[in-house]
Amino acid sequence: MIRSLVLPAGFAALVAIGGAQFLSARTSQPVASEPARRERVANLSEVYLRADDRGHFRSTISVNGRSMGALVDTGATLVILPESEAAMAGIRPRASEFNAPLSTANGTITAARVTIDEIEVGPIRLRDVAGLVVRDDQLAETLLGMSFLSRLSSFSVVDGELKLVE
């Protein structure tokens, strides 16, 4: 796994990570990745996400090697996956494991506690992340919660961008 790439000033390299391509450059200009992902990578341990028109931060992430969309949610204690997305990532809790009460804006639901082997956001990769799986009718998209974010060295919002640093 490449952790850093040292380039002389004015040089750039195209790096493929998990099927996505990132341009790593040693310049003072922001570096853009594919626009649909709304992120740019300044070096191989930082990811920048631009807020969407509703002010939310979304990204394509990889869970156990499977790509899916996620909403960054600092109000979620854990990473939370809908059951169908969890299954695509090889996480299949038994019905009896849906026993953890979870309070939501719509009331209390039950979820299954899981440990996610690996989550990647661009070049940032964390292993053994605590999470929950909920039924599909209880959550529309994966939430990237604090069990991921709190393990980063930092995360901050400046000028409409969320900066994640491994």
Tell me the pLDDT tens digit for each residue of 22-79.
333 333 333 333 333 445 555 558 999 999 999 999 999 999 999 999 999 999 999 9
Place of tokens 């594919």: 34
| 97 domain-assigned | yes
Q: DSSP characters for 122-151?
A: TTEEEEEEEEEEE-GGG-SSEEE-HHHHTT
| 5 domain-assigned | no
CA 155 to chain centre: 12
Q: Residue 7: pLDDT above 80?
A: no
Domain range enclosing 31: 12-165
Place of tokens 């209390």: 108
Residues 112 and 132: beta-carbon distance below 8 Å: yes
Strands 46-50 and 39-40: antiparallel
| 150 domain-assigned | yes
User: Predicted confidence band at 105 (pLDDT cuts at 50, 70, 90)?
Assistant: confident
User: Predicted confidence band at 104 (pLDDT cuts at 50, 70, 90)?
Assistant: confident
Q: Residue 130: pLDDT above 90?
A: yes
pTM: 0.75
Strands 58-63 and 107-121: antiparallel
| 109 domain-assigned | yes
> Phi, psi (5° rounding) for residue 86?
-60, -45
| 104 domain-assigned | yes
H or E element at residue 83: helix 83-88
Q: What torsion do the CA atoms of 44, 48, 49, 55 make, to the nearest 10 degrees?
A: 160
d(CA 51, CA 90): 30
- The CATH number assigned to the domain holding 81 equals 2.40.70.10
Number of domains the chain contains = 1
Residues 145 and 61: beta-carbon distance below 8 Å: no
| 93 domain-assigned | yes
